Amino acid sequence: MPRIAGQIDMAKTEAILDAASDVLGERGLSAPMEAIARRAGVSKQTVYNHYGSKAELIRALVERRVETITAPLREPGAEEHPEATLKAYARTLLTVVTNKNYSLMRVTVQSAGEMPDLAREVFEAGPMHSRAQLAEFFEIETRAGRMNVPNALQAAEFYGGMVLGQRQTRALLRLAVDLTDDEIEILSSEAARIFMRAYAP
């Protein structure tokens, strides 16, 4: 059965983002758009049609990663089950940082001195936006009486730090961050349990 236009467009979008993640991770932020297009199997003009500039493409990569990390916050019933939701959030966060390509953040850090505006945009669209969504979840839970979080943004920072520990730094430094699925499950459960106890109503 042939794919409809929207499906084809989505497939191209994912191919471009996957290629950009790989090429930028391998060659740095100065990698040419032609190389990304070649890896994606599309024309350079197609890449520009989807993303008007490299900065927009990088922003889209960061936003896709944030969507993945924060997806548990938007699951049906997430608000009614905060501990399970925080566990799922921790699991996704650990999986993204430890088990997926983390090279985009690494090359952004390396290029921050030469491209401070882009580095700021990556931070704002990535970690800051992810924490803001988690803080909003804490505010909802506090209003519902399921948690008691006086400073939601601070609590979001606490939770992210507690879950990641040194693992993000290790990933940025290209040091092994070996966690099995079982270990991620245990860490996620414990982080959510401790956090819910700390912010119990």
User: Is the confidence at residue 2, as pLDDT, over 70?
Assistant: no
1-52 belongs to CATH 3.40.50.1100: no
**What confidence tier does 99 reach under pLDDT thresholds 50, 70, 90?**
low
Instruction: Kindly report the pTM of this predicted structure.
Output: 0.85
The winner for highest mean pLDDT among 110-114, 123-127, 133-137 is 133-137
Cβ-proximal residues to 150 (8 Å cutoff; 6+ apart), any chain: none
User: Residue 8 — very low, low, confident or very high, per pLDDT cuts 50/70/90?
Assistant: very low
Q: Does 101 have pLDDT greater than 60? A: no
Residue type, 95: T
Task: With beta carbons less than 8 A apart as the criterion, state whether 40 and 12 touch.
Answer: yes
Chain segment 20-79, per-residue pLDDT in tens: 888 988 888 888 999 999 999 999 999 999 898 888 898 898 888 899 999 999 999 999
Q: Which residue has the higher pLDDT, 35 or 110?
A: 35
Confidence of residue 168 (pLDDT cuts 50, 70, 90): confident
Query: How many Å from the N-terminal Cα to the C-terminal Cα in the chain?
Result: 54
Q: Which CATH code, of 1.10.510.10, 3.40.640.10, 1.10.357.10, 1.20.1090.10, is assigned to 60-198? A: 1.10.357.10
Q: Where are the domains positioned within the chain?
A: 1-52, 60-198
Contact partners, residue 155, CB within 8 Å, separation at least 6: 135, 138, 149, 199
Residue 135 tokens read as 């803080």
Provide the token pair at 96.
Answer: 């993204």
Distance between CA atoms of 41 and 24, rounded to whole angstroms? 16
Indicate if the pLDDT at residue 123 is higher than 90: no
Buried b (16+ CB within 10 A) or exposed e, 123-153: eebbbebbbbbbbebbbbbbeeebbebeebb
Beta-carbon neighbour count of residue 60 at 10 Å?
17
Flag whether pLDDT at 142 surpasses 90: yes
